[in-house]
Structure 1
Amino acid sequence: MNTESVVRAHNVDLVRGGRHLLRGASVQVEQGQHWVLLGANGAGKSTLLSMLGASVHPTRGTVHVLGHQLGRVDMRELRTHIGHVDPRLRIEAPLTLFETVLTGLTNTPDLIPRWSATSEQKDRARSLIASLGIEDRSDSSWRTLSQGERGRALIARALLSNPALLLLDEPATGLDLAAREQLLAALDNLRAQHESLSSILVTHHLEEIPKSTTHAVLIRDGHIMVDGLVEDVLTTENISACFDHPIEIGRSNGRWVATARRR
Protein backbone atom coordinates (compact mmCIF):
# COMPACT_ATOMS: atom_id res chain seq x y z
CA MET A 1 0.00 0.00 0.00
CA ASN A 2 1.50 3.32 -1.08
CA THR A 3 1.21 5.84 1.75
CA GLU A 4 3.65 8.52 0.60
CA SER A 5 0.56 10.59 -0.15
CA VAL A 6 -1.94 9.40 2.41
CA VAL A 7 -4.78 11.35 0.79
CA ARG A 8 -4.91 13.14 -2.56
CA ALA A 9 -8.00 14.83 -3.99
CA HIS A 10 -7.78 16.55 -7.37
CA ASN A 11 -10.35 18.98 -8.77
CA VAL A 12 -13.24 17.31 -6.96
CA ASP A 13 -16.91 18.26 -7.26
CA LEU A 14 -19.61 16.76 -5.08
CA VAL A 15 -23.18 17.42 -6.21
CA ARG A 16 -26.30 16.43 -4.29
CA GLY A 17 -29.81 17.34 -5.40
CA GLY A 18 -28.40 19.66 -8.06
CA ARG A 19 -26.41 21.60 -5.44
CA HIS A 20 -22.62 21.75 -5.31
CA LEU A 21 -21.46 20.80 -1.83
CA LEU A 22 -17.85 20.89 -3.06
CA ARG A 23 -16.51 22.52 -6.20
CA GLY A 24 -13.02 22.10 -7.65
CA ALA A 25 -11.53 20.92 -4.36
CA SER A 26 -7.90 19.78 -4.34
CA VAL A 27 -5.82 18.82 -1.30
CA GLN A 28 -2.94 16.47 -0.55
CA VAL A 29 -2.03 15.02 2.86
CA GLU A 30 1.27 13.21 3.33
CA GLN A 31 2.49 10.82 5.98
CA GLY A 32 3.06 12.41 9.38
CA GLN A 33 1.17 15.60 8.55
CA HIS A 34 -1.66 16.91 10.72
CA TRP A 35 -4.25 19.05 8.95
CA VAL A 36 -7.13 21.17 10.16
CA LEU A 37 -10.17 21.92 7.97
CA LEU A 38 -11.53 25.28 9.05
CA GLY A 39 -14.61 27.19 7.94
CA ALA A 40 -18.01 28.46 8.97
CA ASN A 41 -21.00 26.19 9.58
CA GLY A 42 -22.18 24.67 6.30
CA ALA A 43 -18.97 25.52 4.45
CA GLY A 44 -18.35 21.89 3.42
CA LYS A 45 -15.81 20.78 6.03
CA SER A 46 -17.51 17.57 7.11
CA THR A 47 -18.42 16.80 3.48
CA LEU A 48 -14.78 17.05 2.46
CA LEU A 49 -13.75 14.96 5.46
CA SER A 50 -16.23 12.24 4.47
CA MET A 51 -14.74 12.10 1.00
CA LEU A 52 -11.15 12.03 2.24
CA GLY A 53 -12.22 9.28 4.64
CA ALA A 54 -13.57 7.09 1.81
CA SER A 55 -17.21 7.42 2.89
CA VAL A 56 -18.56 9.12 -0.25
CA HIS A 57 -17.56 9.18 -3.91
CA PRO A 58 -16.89 12.43 -5.78
CA THR A 59 -19.26 13.42 -8.56
CA ARG A 60 -16.30 14.60 -10.63
CA GLY A 61 -12.55 14.54 -10.09
CA THR A 62 -10.35 11.91 -8.45
CA VAL A 63 -9.66 10.98 -4.84
CA HIS A 64 -6.87 8.65 -3.76
CA VAL A 65 -6.88 7.37 -0.18
CA LEU A 66 -3.99 5.27 1.12
CA GLY A 67 -2.86 4.62 -2.44
CA HIS A 68 -6.26 3.56 -3.78
CA GLN A 69 -8.57 5.53 -6.07
CA LEU A 70 -12.17 5.83 -4.93
CA GLY A 71 -14.42 4.04 -7.38
CA ARG A 72 -11.81 1.35 -7.99
CA VAL A 73 -11.53 -0.12 -4.51
CA ASP A 74 -13.72 -1.79 -1.89
CA MET A 75 -14.44 1.25 0.30
CA ARG A 76 -15.53 -0.85 3.28
CA GLU A 77 -12.16 -2.61 3.35
CA LEU A 78 -10.33 0.67 2.80
CA ARG A 79 -12.08 2.26 5.80
CA THR A 80 -10.62 -0.44 8.08
CA HIS A 81 -7.30 1.41 7.67
CA ILE A 82 -8.84 4.74 8.71
CA GLY A 83 -9.65 5.78 12.28
CA HIS A 84 -12.70 8.04 12.67
CA VAL A 85 -13.46 10.03 15.82
CA ASP A 86 -17.04 11.26 15.87
CA PRO A 87 -18.27 12.63 19.23
CA ARG A 88 -21.84 12.06 18.05
CA LEU A 89 -21.36 8.28 18.02
CA ARG A 90 -24.10 6.70 20.15
CA ILE A 91 -23.09 3.89 22.50
CA GLU A 92 -26.32 2.39 23.84
CA ALA A 93 -25.00 -0.97 25.06
CA PRO A 94 -23.99 -1.30 28.75
CA LEU A 95 -20.25 -1.21 28.07
CA THR A 96 -17.30 -0.07 30.12
CA LEU A 97 -14.80 2.42 28.72
CA PHE A 98 -12.37 -0.44 28.03
CA GLU A 99 -15.03 -2.49 26.21
CA THR A 100 -16.05 0.54 24.16
CA VAL A 101 -12.46 1.01 23.03
CA LEU A 102 -12.37 -2.64 21.94
CA THR A 103 -15.32 -2.04 19.59
CA GLY A 104 -12.87 -0.09 17.45
CA LEU A 105 -11.62 -3.46 16.18
CA THR A 106 -15.05 -4.38 14.80
CA ASN A 107 -16.25 -0.82 14.07
CA THR A 108 -19.54 -1.54 15.80
CA PRO A 109 -21.35 0.24 18.66
CA ASP A 110 -21.39 -2.99 20.72
CA LEU A 111 -19.23 -6.05 21.22
CA ILE A 112 -20.08 -8.79 18.73
CA PRO A 113 -21.37 -12.06 20.27
CA ARG A 114 -18.82 -14.91 20.27
CA TRP A 115 -16.06 -12.47 19.27
CA SER A 116 -13.16 -11.66 21.55
CA ALA A 117 -10.04 -9.54 21.23
CA THR A 118 -6.62 -11.15 21.43
CA SER A 119 -4.31 -10.59 24.37
CA GLU A 120 -2.16 -8.35 22.19
CA GLN A 121 -5.16 -6.28 21.15
CA LYS A 122 -6.26 -5.88 24.76
CA ASP A 123 -2.75 -4.81 25.75
CA ARG A 124 -2.74 -2.22 22.97
CA ALA A 125 -6.13 -0.94 24.14
CA ARG A 126 -4.81 -0.52 27.68
CA SER A 127 -1.72 1.27 26.39
CA LEU A 128 -3.77 3.72 24.32
CA ILE A 129 -6.15 4.38 27.20
CA ALA A 130 -3.19 5.10 29.48
CA SER A 131 -1.55 7.39 26.91
CA LEU A 132 -4.75 9.46 26.79
CA GLY A 133 -4.86 9.87 30.56
CA ILE A 134 -8.04 7.89 31.32
CA GLU A 135 -6.56 4.65 32.65
CA ASP A 136 -8.31 5.08 36.01
CA ARG A 137 -11.69 5.05 34.23
CA SER A 138 -11.17 1.85 32.22
CA ASP A 139 -13.72 -0.19 34.17
CA SER A 140 -16.27 2.60 34.48
CA SER A 141 -19.58 2.40 32.66
CA TRP A 142 -19.73 4.44 29.46
CA ARG A 143 -22.86 6.13 30.74
CA THR A 144 -21.05 7.50 33.80
CA LEU A 145 -18.17 9.07 31.84
CA SER A 146 -17.87 12.80 31.31
CA GLN A 147 -18.00 14.16 27.78
CA GLY A 148 -14.27 14.80 27.91
CA GLU A 149 -13.50 11.24 29.02
CA ARG A 150 -15.69 9.91 26.24
CA GLY A 151 -13.87 12.07 23.70
CA ARG A 152 -10.50 10.68 24.67
CA ALA A 153 -11.89 7.13 24.77
CA LEU A 154 -13.18 7.55 21.21
CA ILE A 155 -9.68 8.54 20.10
CA ALA A 156 -8.29 5.36 21.67
CA ARG A 157 -11.08 3.41 19.96
CA ALA A 158 -10.19 4.91 16.57
CA LEU A 159 -6.49 4.15 17.00
CA LEU A 160 -6.88 0.56 18.19
CA SER A 161 -6.73 -0.91 14.67
CA ASN A 162 -3.47 1.01 14.06
CA PRO A 163 -4.81 3.16 11.20
CA ALA A 164 -2.61 5.13 8.81
CA LEU A 165 -5.07 8.04 8.88
CA LEU A 166 -7.05 9.52 11.78
CA LEU A 167 -10.12 11.68 11.12
CA LEU A 168 -11.50 13.93 13.87
CA ASP A 169 -14.88 15.54 13.19
CA GLU A 170 -15.19 18.42 15.68
CA PRO A 171 -13.85 16.29 18.57
CA ALA A 172 -14.22 19.14 21.10
CA THR A 173 -17.99 19.40 20.56
CA GLY A 174 -19.80 19.79 23.90
CA LEU A 175 -16.64 19.99 26.01
CA ASP A 176 -16.10 22.54 28.73
CA LEU A 177 -12.84 24.50 28.90
CA ALA A 178 -10.92 22.02 31.06
CA ALA A 179 -12.06 18.99 29.06
CA ARG A 180 -11.17 20.72 25.80
CA GLU A 181 -7.66 21.48 27.02
CA GLN A 182 -7.19 17.90 28.21
CA LEU A 183 -8.32 16.62 24.82
CA LEU A 184 -5.98 18.90 22.87
CA ALA A 185 -3.03 18.04 25.11
CA ALA A 186 -3.79 14.35 24.61
CA LEU A 187 -3.83 14.83 20.83
CA ASP A 188 -0.48 16.61 20.90
CA ASN A 189 1.06 13.81 22.98
CA LEU A 190 -0.48 11.17 20.75
CA ARG A 191 0.93 12.70 17.58
CA ALA A 192 4.39 12.89 19.13
CA GLN A 193 4.24 9.19 20.01
CA HIS A 194 2.98 8.06 16.56
CA GLU A 195 5.22 9.86 14.09
CA SER A 196 3.94 8.08 10.98
CA LEU A 197 0.29 8.79 11.74
CA SER A 198 -1.50 11.40 9.60
CA SER A 199 -4.61 13.19 10.81
CA ILE A 200 -7.32 15.57 9.60
CA LEU A 201 -9.33 17.56 12.14
CA VAL A 202 -12.49 19.54 11.41
CA THR A 203 -13.46 22.59 13.46
CA HIS A 204 -14.80 26.11 13.12
CA HIS A 205 -13.03 27.38 16.26
CA LEU A 206 -9.37 28.38 16.14
CA GLU A 207 -9.10 27.71 19.87
CA GLU A 208 -9.72 24.01 19.15
CA ILE A 209 -6.64 23.61 16.93
CA PRO A 210 -3.88 21.55 18.62
CA LYS A 211 -0.33 22.91 18.77
CA SER A 212 0.93 19.95 16.73
CA THR A 213 -1.12 20.92 13.65
CA THR A 214 1.15 21.27 10.62
CA HIS A 215 -1.19 22.27 7.76
CA ALA A 216 -4.54 23.95 7.26
CA VAL A 217 -7.37 24.26 4.75
CA LEU A 218 -9.81 27.17 4.71
CA ILE A 219 -13.09 26.30 3.03
CA ARG A 220 -16.04 28.55 2.21
CA ASP A 221 -19.23 27.68 0.33
CA GLY A 222 -17.73 24.41 -0.90
CA HIS A 223 -14.58 26.08 -2.27
CA ILE A 224 -11.10 25.63 -0.86
CA MET A 225 -9.90 29.20 -0.46
CA VAL A 226 -6.33 28.43 0.60
CA ASP A 227 -4.34 25.48 1.93
CA GLY A 228 -0.76 24.86 3.01
CA LEU A 229 1.44 25.25 6.07
CA VAL A 230 -0.66 26.27 9.06
CA GLU A 231 1.31 29.46 9.76
CA ASP A 232 0.86 30.59 6.16
CA VAL A 233 -2.86 29.83 6.02
CA LEU A 234 -4.07 31.10 9.39
CA THR A 235 -3.58 34.82 8.89
CA THR A 236 -5.81 37.76 9.73
CA GLU A 237 -6.50 38.38 6.05
CA ASN A 238 -7.34 34.77 5.22
CA ILE A 239 -9.53 34.11 8.26
CA SER A 240 -11.42 37.38 7.82
CA ALA A 241 -12.17 36.46 4.19
CA CYS A 242 -13.15 32.90 5.07
CA PHE A 243 -15.65 33.94 7.74
CA ASP A 244 -16.67 37.18 6.01
CA HIS A 245 -15.94 39.17 9.16
CA PRO A 246 -12.93 41.22 10.31
CA ILE A 247 -11.03 38.91 12.68
CA GLU A 248 -7.60 39.51 14.19
CA ILE A 249 -5.46 36.38 14.40
CA GLY A 250 -2.69 35.86 16.93
CA ARG A 251 -0.74 33.05 18.50
CA SER A 252 0.05 32.45 22.16
CA ASN A 253 2.15 29.57 23.48
CA GLY A 254 1.73 27.74 20.17
CA ARG A 255 -2.06 28.05 20.14
CA TRP A 256 -4.18 30.21 17.85
CA VAL A 257 -6.47 32.95 19.13
CA ALA A 258 -9.03 35.09 17.33
CA THR A 259 -10.58 38.43 18.26
CA ALA A 260 -13.10 40.52 16.35
CA ARG A 261 -11.85 43.73 14.74
CA ARG A 262 -13.87 46.86 14.26
CA ARG A 263 -15.02 47.36 10.70
Structure 2
Amino acid sequence: MNKELAINIENASVRLGGREIIHDMHWQVKKGGRCFILGANGAGKTTLVKTLMGYAWPKFGAKVEVLGHRFGQTNLVELRKRIAWVSPFMNQFTNTESTGLEMVLSGFDGTLGLTRKATAEEIDTAKALMERFRCAHLTDQEIFTMSSGEQVKIMIARALLTKPDLVILDEPSVYLDMAGREFLLEEIRQIAEKLPEVTIIFITQRIEDILPVFSRGMILAKGRIVESGERDEILREEVLSAAYGLPIKLWKNKAGRYWAMLE
Protein backbone atom coordinates (compact mmCIF):
# COMPACT_ATOMS: atom_id res chain seq x y z
CA MET A 1 0.00 0.00 0.00
CA ASN A 2 1.50 3.31 -1.14
CA LYS A 3 0.87 5.96 1.55
CA GLU A 4 1.52 8.75 -0.96
CA LEU A 5 -1.54 7.83 -3.02
CA ALA A 6 -5.07 9.07 -2.40
CA ILE A 7 -6.44 6.77 -5.12
CA ASN A 8 -5.01 3.53 -6.42
CA ILE A 9 -7.00 1.43 -8.90
CA GLU A 10 -5.51 -1.65 -10.48
CA ASN A 11 -6.99 -4.06 -13.03
CA ALA A 12 -10.54 -2.80 -12.49
CA SER A 13 -13.41 -3.77 -14.78
CA VAL A 14 -16.91 -2.82 -13.63
CA ARG A 15 -20.20 -4.31 -14.83
CA LEU A 16 -23.54 -2.58 -14.26
CA GLY A 17 -26.91 -3.45 -15.75
CA GLY A 18 -25.54 -6.55 -17.43
CA ARG A 19 -22.77 -4.85 -19.37
CA GLU A 20 -19.17 -3.87 -18.72
CA ILE A 21 -18.89 -0.09 -18.27
CA ILE A 22 -15.23 0.22 -17.24
CA HIS A 23 -12.56 -1.94 -18.82
CA ASP A 24 -9.27 -2.94 -17.15
CA MET A 25 -8.58 0.42 -15.50
CA HIS A 26 -5.25 1.33 -13.89
CA TRP A 27 -5.26 4.79 -12.28
CA GLN A 28 -3.43 6.55 -9.49
CA VAL A 29 -3.75 10.00 -7.89
CA LYS A 30 -1.29 11.33 -5.32
CA LYS A 31 -2.49 12.84 -2.06
CA GLY A 32 -3.07 16.56 -2.50
CA GLY A 33 -3.37 16.13 -6.27
CA ARG A 34 -5.70 18.13 -8.50
CA CYS A 35 -6.87 15.79 -11.22
CA PHE A 36 -9.53 16.15 -13.90
CA ILE A 37 -11.45 13.41 -15.67
CA LEU A 38 -12.78 14.37 -19.09
CA GLY A 39 -15.18 12.37 -21.20
CA ALA A 40 -18.37 12.48 -23.21
CA ASN A 41 -21.66 11.04 -22.01
CA GLY A 42 -21.34 7.28 -21.63
CA ALA A 43 -17.57 7.39 -21.14
CA GLY A 44 -17.82 5.76 -17.70
CA LYS A 45 -17.22 8.82 -15.50
CA THR A 46 -20.12 8.32 -13.11
CA THR A 47 -19.49 4.57 -12.84
CA LEU A 48 -15.92 5.38 -11.84
CA VAL A 49 -17.20 7.68 -9.09
CA LYS A 50 -19.55 4.97 -7.83
CA THR A 51 -16.57 2.63 -7.72
CA LEU A 52 -14.52 5.12 -5.70
CA MET A 53 -17.41 5.48 -3.25
CA GLY A 54 -17.99 1.74 -2.94
CA TYR A 55 -21.42 1.83 -4.58
CA ALA A 56 -20.19 -0.23 -7.54
CA TRP A 57 -17.65 -3.03 -7.35
CA PRO A 58 -15.16 -4.24 -9.96
CA LYS A 59 -14.83 -7.85 -11.00
CA PHE A 60 -12.70 -10.26 -8.98
CA GLY A 61 -8.97 -9.61 -9.14
CA ALA A 62 -9.11 -5.81 -9.04
CA LYS A 63 -7.64 -3.56 -6.37
CA VAL A 64 -9.34 -0.35 -5.23
CA GLU A 65 -7.65 1.74 -2.53
CA VAL A 66 -8.93 5.15 -1.45
CA LEU A 67 -7.15 7.27 1.18
CA GLY A 68 -5.03 4.29 2.12
CA HIS A 69 -7.96 1.92 2.65
CA ARG A 70 -8.39 -1.17 0.50
CA PHE A 71 -11.97 -1.97 -0.43
CA GLY A 72 -13.09 -5.29 0.99
CA GLN A 73 -10.94 -4.72 4.07
CA THR A 74 -12.32 -1.43 5.39
CA ASN A 75 -15.47 0.18 6.79
CA LEU A 76 -16.91 2.06 3.84
CA VAL A 77 -19.40 3.98 5.98
CA GLU A 78 -16.56 5.53 7.96
CA LEU A 79 -14.41 6.07 4.88
CA ARG A 80 -17.20 7.97 3.10
CA LYS A 81 -17.15 10.54 5.92
CA ARG A 82 -13.71 11.58 4.66
CA ILE A 83 -14.91 11.92 1.05
CA ALA A 84 -17.00 14.79 -0.24
CA TRP A 85 -18.94 13.84 -3.37
CA VAL A 86 -20.65 16.70 -5.16
CA SER A 87 -22.95 15.92 -8.08
CA PRO A 88 -26.16 17.30 -9.58
CA PHE A 89 -27.16 13.66 -10.01
CA MET A 90 -27.08 12.88 -6.28
CA ASN A 91 -30.79 13.66 -5.86
CA GLN A 92 -31.51 10.06 -6.85
CA PHE A 93 -29.82 8.99 -3.58
CA THR A 94 -31.24 11.70 -1.32
CA ASN A 95 -34.33 12.26 0.77
CA THR A 96 -35.83 14.94 -1.46
CA GLU A 97 -38.04 16.23 1.36
CA SER A 98 -34.97 17.43 3.26
CA THR A 99 -34.56 21.18 3.45
CA GLY A 100 -31.45 22.94 2.21
CA LEU A 101 -30.13 23.38 5.76
CA GLU A 102 -30.82 19.75 6.67
CA MET A 103 -28.95 18.55 3.58
CA VAL A 104 -25.93 20.71 4.37
CA LEU A 105 -25.94 19.57 8.01
CA SER A 106 -25.97 15.92 6.93
CA GLY A 107 -22.38 16.38 5.79
CA PHE A 108 -21.29 16.08 9.43
CA ASP A 109 -22.39 12.42 9.44
CA GLY A 110 -21.62 11.50 5.83
CA THR A 111 -25.30 10.83 5.15
CA LEU A 112 -27.60 12.27 2.47
CA GLY A 113 -30.19 13.86 4.68
CA LEU A 114 -30.23 14.73 8.39
CA THR A 115 -30.88 11.78 10.73
CA ARG A 116 -30.53 13.53 14.10
CA LYS A 117 -30.93 16.89 15.80
CA ALA A 118 -28.04 19.21 14.97
CA THR A 119 -26.28 21.32 17.59
CA ALA A 120 -26.41 25.12 17.57
CA GLU A 121 -22.71 25.24 16.62
CA GLU A 122 -23.25 22.88 13.69
CA ILE A 123 -26.18 24.98 12.46
CA ASP A 124 -24.10 28.16 12.62
CA THR A 125 -21.28 26.50 10.64
CA ALA A 126 -23.70 25.22 8.00
CA LYS A 127 -25.42 28.59 7.63
CA ALA A 128 -22.07 30.35 7.18
CA LEU A 129 -21.20 28.03 4.31
CA MET A 130 -24.61 28.56 2.75
CA GLU A 131 -23.99 32.30 2.85
CA ARG A 132 -20.64 31.80 1.10
CA PHE A 133 -22.20 29.85 -1.74
CA ARG A 134 -25.15 32.19 -2.10
CA CYS A 135 -27.76 29.65 -1.07
CA ALA A 136 -28.79 30.93 2.38
CA HIS A 137 -32.23 31.71 0.94
CA LEU A 138 -32.70 27.95 0.49
CA THR A 139 -32.39 27.19 4.21
CA ASP A 140 -36.00 26.09 4.67
CA GLN A 141 -36.74 25.05 1.08
CA GLU A 142 -37.14 21.36 0.27
CA ILE A 143 -34.57 19.86 -2.09
CA PHE A 144 -37.11 18.61 -4.64
CA THR A 145 -38.40 22.15 -5.21
CA MET A 146 -34.96 23.57 -6.04
CA SER A 147 -33.45 24.02 -9.45
CA SER A 148 -30.49 21.81 -10.38
CA GLY A 149 -28.14 24.77 -9.95
CA GLU A 150 -29.49 25.45 -6.46
CA GLN A 151 -29.06 21.81 -5.50
CA VAL A 152 -25.41 21.91 -6.59
CA LYS A 153 -24.72 24.92 -4.36
CA ILE A 154 -26.29 23.06 -1.44
CA MET A 155 -24.14 19.98 -2.13
CA ILE A 156 -20.95 22.07 -2.37
CA ALA A 157 -21.67 23.62 1.03
CA ARG A 158 -22.38 20.15 2.43
CA ALA A 159 -19.15 18.81 0.96
CA LEU A 160 -16.90 21.35 2.66
CA LEU A 161 -18.58 21.16 6.04
CA THR A 162 -16.18 18.66 7.61
CA LYS A 163 -12.89 19.46 5.83
CA PRO A 164 -12.73 16.21 3.82
CA ASP A 165 -9.54 14.52 2.63
CA LEU A 166 -10.92 13.83 -0.86
CA VAL A 167 -13.35 15.99 -2.84
CA ILE A 168 -15.01 14.53 -5.94
CA LEU A 169 -16.69 17.18 -8.11
CA ASP A 170 -18.82 15.14 -10.50
CA GLU A 171 -19.93 17.47 -13.33
CA PRO A 172 -20.95 20.17 -10.82
CA SER A 173 -21.66 22.85 -13.45
CA VAL A 174 -23.54 20.73 -15.98
CA TYR A 175 -26.93 22.40 -15.32
CA LEU A 176 -25.70 25.94 -14.63
CA ASP A 177 -26.00 28.92 -16.93
CA MET A 178 -22.85 30.83 -17.91
CA ALA A 179 -22.89 33.20 -14.94
CA GLY A 180 -23.57 30.40 -12.46
CA ARG A 181 -20.88 28.23 -14.00
CA GLU A 182 -18.22 30.93 -13.81
CA PHE A 183 -19.12 31.70 -10.18
CA LEU A 184 -18.84 28.03 -9.30
CA LEU A 185 -15.55 27.54 -11.16
CA GLU A 186 -14.04 30.53 -9.35
CA GLU A 187 -15.09 29.03 -6.02
CA ILE A 188 -13.53 25.71 -7.04
CA ARG A 189 -10.31 27.50 -7.99
CA GLN A 190 -10.16 29.15 -4.58
CA ILE A 191 -10.89 25.88 -2.79
CA ALA A 192 -8.08 24.19 -4.72
CA GLU A 193 -5.63 26.95 -3.85
CA LYS A 194 -6.58 27.31 -0.18
CA LEU A 195 -6.71 23.59 0.70
CA PRO A 196 -3.42 22.14 -0.60
CA GLU A 197 -3.69 19.05 1.60
CA VAL A 198 -7.03 18.01 0.08
CA THR A 199 -7.12 15.78 -3.01
CA ILE A 200 -9.60 17.12 -5.58
CA ILE A 201 -11.03 15.21 -8.54
CA PHE A 202 -12.91 17.31 -11.10
CA ILE A 203 -15.11 15.43 -13.57
CA THR A 204 -16.56 17.07 -16.65
CA GLN A 205 -17.63 16.58 -20.24
CA ARG A 206 -16.78 20.20 -21.13
CA ILE A 207 -13.19 21.04 -21.98
CA GLU A 208 -13.60 24.73 -21.09
CA ASP A 209 -14.44 23.85 -17.48
CA ILE A 210 -10.97 22.44 -16.81
CA LEU A 211 -9.16 25.11 -14.82
CA PRO A 212 -5.34 25.38 -14.95
CA VAL A 213 -5.22 24.46 -11.26
CA PHE A 214 -6.06 20.88 -12.33
CA SER A 215 -2.54 20.08 -13.47
CA ARG A 216 -3.05 16.40 -14.25
CA GLY A 217 -5.89 14.38 -15.67
CA MET A 218 -7.18 11.62 -17.84
CA ILE A 219 -9.52 11.34 -20.80
CA LEU A 220 -12.09 8.55 -20.82
CA ALA A 221 -13.91 7.11 -23.82
CA LYS A 222 -16.17 4.04 -23.75
CA GLY A 223 -14.88 3.00 -20.34
CA ARG A 224 -11.20 3.09 -21.24
CA ILE A 225 -8.43 5.59 -20.47
CA VAL A 226 -7.53 7.22 -23.79
CA GLU A 227 -4.78 9.41 -22.36
CA SER A 228 -3.49 10.42 -18.92
CA GLY A 229 -0.79 12.72 -17.64
CA GLU A 230 -0.02 16.43 -17.49
CA ARG A 231 -2.90 18.72 -18.46
CA ASP A 232 -1.23 20.50 -21.36
CA GLU A 233 0.17 17.24 -22.73
CA ILE A 234 -3.13 15.37 -22.97
CA LEU A 235 -5.47 18.20 -23.98
CA ARG A 236 -4.48 17.92 -27.60
CA GLU A 237 -6.71 18.28 -30.64
CA GLU A 238 -6.03 14.81 -32.04
CA VAL A 239 -6.67 13.11 -28.68
CA LEU A 240 -9.89 15.04 -28.04
CA SER A 241 -11.14 14.51 -31.58
CA ALA A 242 -10.71 10.76 -31.19
CA ALA A 243 -12.37 10.71 -27.74
CA TYR A 244 -15.40 12.74 -28.82
CA GLY A 245 -15.63 11.55 -32.41
CA LEU A 246 -15.59 15.13 -33.68
CA PRO A 247 -13.02 17.31 -35.49
CA ILE A 248 -12.06 19.48 -32.50
CA LYS A 249 -9.90 22.58 -32.62
CA LEU A 250 -8.63 24.18 -29.39
CA TRP A 251 -8.27 27.81 -28.43
CA LYS A 252 -6.47 28.81 -25.22
CA ASN A 253 -7.40 32.06 -23.46
CA LYS A 254 -5.19 34.31 -21.33
CA ALA A 255 -6.32 32.57 -18.15
CA GLY A 256 -4.98 29.25 -19.46
CA ARG A 257 -8.36 27.63 -20.11
CA TYR A 258 -8.97 25.67 -23.30
CA TRP A 259 -12.08 26.15 -25.43
CA ALA A 260 -13.21 23.64 -27.99
CA MET A 261 -14.43 24.54 -31.47
CA LEU A 262 -15.48 22.33 -34.34
CA GLU A 263 -13.27 22.49 -37.40
Provide closer, same or farther for how the CA distance between residues 194 and 72 of structure 1 changes in structure 2, counting only shifts above 3 A.
same
Q: Which amino acid aligns with 2:189?
A: D
Q: Secondary structure at the match of 2:62?
A: strand
Q: Equivalent residue for 2:97?
A: 93
Q: Distance in 2 between matches of 1:193 and 1:120?
A: 23
Structure 2 residue runs of 5 or longer lacking an equivalent are: none
Q: Which amino acid aligns with 1:190?
A: I
Task: Verify: 1:257 aligned to 2:250, yes or no.
Answer: no
Contact 1:85/1:171, CA 8 A, preserved across alignment: yes
Shift of 1:6: 0.6
* Deviation, structure 1 residue 131: 4.0
The C-alpha deviation readout for 1:200-255, integer Å capped at 9, x for no partner, is 12211112223421211111111111111111111112111211221012321222
Could you give the per-residue CA deviations for residues 166-200 of structure 1, whole angstroms, max 9, x where no partner exists? 11221112211111111111111112221111121
Instruction: Using the TM superposition, name which of 249-258 and 118-127 deviates more.
Output: 118-127
Greater mean deviation of Cα atoms: 117-126 or 51-60: 117-126
One-letter amino acid of the counterpart of residue 10, structure 2: H
CA RMSD of aligned residues (A): 2.4
- Give me the whole-angstrom Cα distance separating, in 1, the residues matched to 2:129 and 2:192: 12
Query: Which residue identity lines up with residue 13 of structure 2 in the other structure?
Result: D
Going from structure 1 to structure 2, the CA distance change for 1:189 and 1:45 (only over 3 Å counts) comes to: same
SS at the partner of 1:99?
A: helix
Question: Match of 1:46?
Answer: 46
Shift in Å, 1:99 = 3.3
How many angstroms apart in 1 are the aligned matches of 2:122 and 2:243? 43
> Are 2:117 and 1:110 equivalent residues in the alignment?
no
Describe the superposition over 1:116-161 as per-residue Cα deviations: whole angstroms up to 9, x where unpaired.
33455344434433443x2653645356755434322211101212
What is the identity, as a one-letter code, of the residue corresponding to 1:4? E
Indicate the residue corresponding to 1:7 in structure 2.
Answer: 7
> Aligned residue for 1:164?
165
Aligned length: 257
Instruction: Trace 1:111-260 onto structure 2 (pairs within 5 A).
Output: 111-112=114-115, 115-132=116-133, 134=134, 137=137, 139=139, 141-142=141-142, 147-252=148-253, 253-260=255-262
Q: Relative to structure 1, is the Cα distance of residues 94 and 70 closer, same or farther in structure 2, using a 3 angstrom cutoff? A: closer
Identity %: 33
Inter-partner Cα distance in structure 2 for 1:198 and 1:94: 29
Deviation at 1:67, TM superposition (A): 0.4
